[in-house]
Amino acid sequence: MTDIKICGLSTRDSFDAAIDAGATHVGLVHFEPSPRHVSLEDAAKLRRRAPGDVKVVLLLVNADPMATAKAVQEVQPDVIQFHGREAPQWLAALRGKLPMEIWKAFGVRDAQQIANAYQFDQAADRMLYDAPAKKLPGGNGEGFDWSIVAEHDHHLPWGLAGGLDPENVVEAMATTGAPLVDVSSGVESAPGVKDVDLIRRFCEAVRAFDAPRN
């Protein structure tokens, strides 16, 4: 069964809707420039709403060690997703000390660049392949050439992000064989405003694709 991450959740209604729709992972963005930013206090409140079988992912961008430690202590996520220019050496050190999973988002431009993801082999538990960063590191609603990921020799568990929505997620899965799909802007009615119906349709599309294979 394909894992589903609904990212950028910021309200109780959208958080609960993602869980009710069948998301396996729910993402909270702690990055002030993002329209999906939630404070650590609000992230902790949402985190407590998640049942034990749904993993809470806290997204950080270029957070320094003190800010990272504070976020971990206050929110207690199941996963920390680093979505900036974090060095593999630093993530490897964190991975050896923290009890939760470490994910690294990686912008993909071409086949040559994706090979650079191997530097995180000992630093992350999962790679998340996304469109290249722009003004914001993610959540820009833009995709990339999925064939690059399909042809890559993955050393780690991985996921696919970048421009996914209820209309194209099946094609993305069929092309790449992604074990996890991650959506944010593709289930929004406006930047940072999640649409409950789009969340449901996204999850239904993934499960419909899974059904013949299970």
CATH of the domain at 51: 3.20.20.70
CA–CA–CA angle 4, 36, 135 (5° rounding): 100
Residue type, 124: A
The total of structural domains in the chain comes to 1
pLDDT tens-digit profile, the chain (214 residues): 999 999 999 999 999 999 999 999 999 999 999 999 999 999 999 999 999 999 999 999 999 999 999 999 999 999 999 999 999 999 999 998 999 999 999 999 888 889 999 999 999 999 999 988 555 554 445 678 999 999 999 999 999 999 999 999 999 999 999 999 999 999 999 999 999 999 999 999 999 999 987 6
What pairs with residue 180 in β-bridges? Answer: 3
- The Cα–Cα gap between 95 and 83 comes to 15
> Residue with structure tokens 């806290």?
58
Q: Is 128 helix (H, G, I), strand (E, B) or coil?
A: strand
Q: Which residues contact 179 (CB under 8 A, 6 or more apart)?
A: 2, 3, 157, 158, 159
Q: pTM (2 decimals)? A: 0.94
Phi, psi values for residue 127, rounded to 5°:
-100, 140
Q: Which domain holds residue 49?
A: 3-213
